[in-house]
Structure 1
């Protein structure tokens, strides 16, 4: 079953990645005060940012590698760079164009850490696969 999902991701990665990126931007730019008030987990916002950018970096890696045929190392570098820059742009936009959200440097750190962990996971996965061959 996992292989079937992986094949779907490889086949439709560009569409999935673009939709995920748009959804993430939307969620980060809309007013969510009521939802945030109902979540009583300490640092829930930072956990969301970390997780969201972990997924974003992996999706961009898969898209760059399988759809655009960029080699693995460059795909990793481009995916992390895109994810970090995307996160910074979203934070700037939160402070500049929204009235209900504000920029937070800690969100940028959480985004970056999520993307870095994704990069590390991808790198380790690639190294393990190379050693098996």
Structure 2
């Protein structure tokens, strides 16, 4: 995605912050879905989601460097993507009992 229309931040390597934020929201979406609708094997689901999102970030990074001429491969992007996923992973793992109680309160 061209980044010309994104607000300019006075932070060096600001695109890494964008990657982190994007993967935090992507991870929040997936982990929330599995908490609410797929609670049977929660630990396994969390591990699979985290692994899948990290692999997805790597695949996207590789594909953008091979399929486009205006994007490049960057290990720091992969690290930022993975960090966003892992932040949400650990937040959900540390608050698992609270999230299960919330799920039961929602009666989903």
- Distance across 2 between alignment mates of 1:33 and 1:61: 27
- Distance across 2 between alignment mates of 1:91 and 1:40: 23
Deviations 1:84-128 (A, max 9, x none): 011001101110111111110000000111111110110111145
Backbone CA RMSD of aligned residues: 2.3
Aligned to 2:90: 120
Query: TM-score if structure 2 supplies the norm length?
Result: 0.77
Q: Choose the corresponding residue for 2:76, options 96, 106, 112.
A: 106
1:24-43 matches, within 5 Å, as 30=1, 32-35=2-5, 39-42=8-11, 43=13
- Distance across 1 between alignment mates of 2:48 and 2:68: 29
Q: Is the 8 A contact 2:35 2:99 kept in 1?
A: no
Unaligned runs of 5+ in 2: 101-108
Aligned to 1:19: none
- Distance across 2 between alignment mates of 1:33 and 1:55: 18
Aligned to 1:78: 48
Deviations 1:10-69 (A, max 9, x none): xxxxxxxxxxxxxxxxxxxx3x15236x61331221111111111212222223343344
Aligned to 1:64: 34
